[in-house]
């Protein structure tokens, strides 16, 4: 049986990575959607005083105190331009897409995706060859009536080529979705809260959706803020919903593709709407038709799985905790996707128990040089992809403010880049038997959930207020 990650098979399947240069970062998790870039030439040592800020540009994405649902969208960049989603106005304000010049941060254009009910969480996807950008309005928690839209824009002008606005379609509330579009062949595949949509890249026409039928929409009480009182009203309404009719929602995880025996499959996470625990599961559908192929056991993490060398690496939880929201134990697991006659499944290859107490927020792993790097809580791991053998593990994140990992690490030119939620940057080298921290720099930005990117020798990251650019080369 032959299986491999689709982004690595661009010649036959037309993944967007085929048109991305080494110094482009055209989509969520980089050119191959695996968290790394082919860019080289970065220094191996950094100034004791840390990196110097080149520019900072406003792209407000306001959030009320204690809520992490409004600063998840990461920047993308191609051909010297940077694109980022954000909000204006109130917490549930107008969702906008911004374009800046990479060299100096000069604002070039803005596009209003929805007028109200946005979150600024989506990381856009770029088709460089076609000169187009695709972005999804990810919506707000507690706002069932918030419009959901998918738009295709001209990269340089920021003008609309087409948009799909399904209006008040959201069936179930609870998550400010952070899933980002995936470009494959002629399709845009994007989470759309209650379903996974596959759209024609040229026209926006719906090619398929999962599930293919939706339950009748339920209108919630009006929720205008995130206060304890209005949240209580929402919860009471939510608990009375007919969960059997609604079943699942897509959420913070983004879809990825894997090819097994030359048959393209989309893998993504869905969330159970049986209670308020947001327990998740992996699901797999046929990339060409959306036909359901597989639904895995319920787990408890919300990250994007990663494929490499025929293996899917993800996190699972086992044993329901007393509060009903988190599992008792968590494991990093590698699965081998395979077809058995006409059935599709994932066979477990290895698992490692993690040192973690709460996995509601989980960074996605990085796989490079046949090594899996991931952060579970306070600890950074390096594990052999094929065998699951731990090469090293070390507690690097000991500050209590850093113990809620959200941002995913990235790998560029032999180094891991990671930004903690409170804005501390670490640049880390794999020294073989241990991690070597090359730089620790606090307050490179404000509080953030977003994953940074490195493009053209520059580190780009965002918080809920602004986009920041730090040159990495002298």
Q: Domain limits of the chain?
A: 3-469
- Give the residue-averaged pLDDT of 106-134: 85
In this prediction the pTM is 0.85
340 versus 451: which is more confidently predicted? 451
Distance of alpha carbon 15 from alpha carbon 261, whole angstroms: 18
Cβ–Cβ < 8 Å for 269, 280: yes
Average pLDDT over every residue of 285-308: 81
Q: Beta strand 55-58 with 327-340: parallel, antiparallel or unpaired?
A: unpaired
CB neighbour list of residue 143: distance below 8 Å, 6 or more residues apart = 92, 117, 170, 173, 223
Q: What was the pLDDT predicted at 445?
A: 93
pLDDT tens digit sequence for 233-257: 655 655 555 444 445 555 567 899 9
Does the pLDDT value for residue 406 go beyond 80?
no
- pLDDT for the residue 405: 67
Contact 41, 457 (CB under 8 A): yes
The predicted-structure confidence for 345-397, as pLDDT tens digits, reads as follows: 889 999 998 765 545 556 889 999 999 998 887 889 999 999 999 999 998 88
pLDDT at 244: 47
**CA dist., res. 17 & res. 183, Å (int):** 9
Q: Give dist(CA 462, CA 63) in Å, integer.
A: 14
Whether the upstream peptide bond of residue 160 has omega within 30° of 0, thus cis, is no
Residue 21 and residue 30 in contact, taking contact as beta carbons nearer than 8 Å: no
| DSSP track, 103-146 | TT--EEEEEEEESSS----PPPEEETTTTEEEEE----TT-TT-
Helices (H) then strands (E): counts for the chain: 3, 35
State how far the alpha carbon of 53 is from the alpha carbons of 43, 105, 128, 474, in Å: 17, 12, 28, 13
Task: Rank 41-55, 164-178, 360-374 by mean pLDDT and report only the highest.
Answer: 41-55
What are residue 109's DSSP bridge partners? 99
CATH class entry, domain 3-469: mainly beta
SS (H, E, C) 182-243: EEECCEEEEECCCCEEEEECCCCCEEEEECCCCCCCCCCCCCCCCCHHHHHHHHHHHCCCCH
pLDDT confidence of residue 62? 46
pLDDT, position 459: 97
* Bridge partner residues of 35 (DSSP): none
Q: How far apart are CA 459 and CA 410, in angstroms?
A: 11
- Asked if residues 427 and 419 have their Cβ atoms less than 8 Å apart, the reply is no
User: Going by DSSP bridges, is the β-strand pair 327-340/343-353 parallel, antiparallel, or unpaired?
Assistant: antiparallel
Cα separation, 351 vs 131, whole angstroms: 42
pLDDT over 50 (residue 5) = no
Look at residue 361 in the predicted model and tell me its pLDDT.
54
Residues in a beta bridge with 381: 374, 393
Does 214 have pLDDT greater than 70? no
pLDDT of residue 355: 65
Residue 403 predicted with pLDDT over 60 = yes
Residue 431: is its pLDDT beyond 90? Answer: yes
Position with higher pLDDT, 469 vs 280: 469
């Amino acid at each position: 049986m032959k299986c491999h990650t689709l982004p690595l098979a661009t010649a036959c399947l037309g993944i967007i990575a085929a048109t991305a240069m080494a110094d482009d970062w055209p989509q969520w998790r980089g050119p191959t959607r695996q968290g790394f870039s082919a860019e080289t030439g970065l220094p191996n040592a950094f100034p004791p005083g840390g990196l110097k800020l080149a520019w900072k540009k406003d792209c407000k994405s306001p959030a009320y105190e204690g809520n992490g649902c409004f600063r998840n969208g990461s920047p993308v960049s191609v051909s010297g331009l940077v694109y980022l989603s954000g909000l204006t106005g109130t917490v549930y304000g107008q969702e906008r897409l911004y374009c800046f010049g990479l060299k100096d941060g000069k604002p070039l254009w803005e596009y209003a995706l929805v007028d109200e009910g946005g979150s600024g969480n989506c990381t856009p996807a770029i088709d460089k060859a076609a000169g187009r950008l695709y972005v999804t309005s990810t919506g707000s928690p507690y706002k069932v009536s918030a419009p959901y839209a998918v738009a295709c824009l001209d990269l340089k002008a920021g003008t609309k080529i087409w948009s799909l606005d399904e209006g008040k379609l959201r069936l179930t509330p609870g998550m400010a979705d952070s899933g980002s579009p995936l470009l494959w062949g002629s399709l845009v595949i994007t989470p759309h809260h209650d379903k996974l949509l596959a759209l024609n890249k040229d026209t926006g026409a719906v090619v398929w959706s999962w599930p293919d039928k939706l339950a009748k929409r339920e209108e919630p009480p009006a929720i205008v803020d995130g206060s304890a009182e209005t949240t209580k009203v929402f919860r009471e309404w939510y608990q009375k919903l007919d969960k059997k009719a609604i079943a699942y929602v897509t959420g913070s995880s983004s879809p990825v593709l894997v090819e097994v025996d030359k048959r393209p499959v989309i893998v993504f996470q869905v969330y159970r709407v049986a209670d308020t625990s947001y327990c998740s599961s992996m699901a797999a559908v046929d990339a060409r038709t959306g036909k359901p192929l597989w639904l895995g056991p319920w787990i408890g993490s919300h990250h994007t799985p990663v494929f490499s060398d025929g293996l899917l690496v993800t996190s699972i939880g086992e044993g329901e905790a007393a509060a009903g929201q988190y599992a008792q134990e968590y494991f990093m697991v590698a699965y081998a996707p395979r077809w058995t006659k006409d059935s599709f499944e994932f066979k477990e290859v290895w698992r490692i128990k993690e040192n973690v107490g709460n996995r509601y927020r989980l960074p996605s792993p990085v796989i490079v040089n046949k090594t899996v790097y991931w952060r579970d809580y306070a600890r950074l791991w390096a594990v052999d992809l094929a065998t699951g053998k731990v090469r090293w593990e070390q507690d690097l994140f000991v500050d209590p403010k850093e113990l809620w990992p959200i941002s995913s690490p990235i790998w560029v030119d032999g180094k891991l880049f990671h930004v903690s939620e409170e804005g501390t940057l670490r640049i880390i080298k794999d020294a073989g038997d241990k991690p070597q921290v090359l730089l620790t720099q606090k307050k490179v930005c404000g509080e953030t959930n977003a994953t940074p990117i490195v493009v053209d020798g520059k580190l780009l990251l965002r918080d809920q207020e602004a986009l920041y650019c730090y040159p990495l080369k002298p």
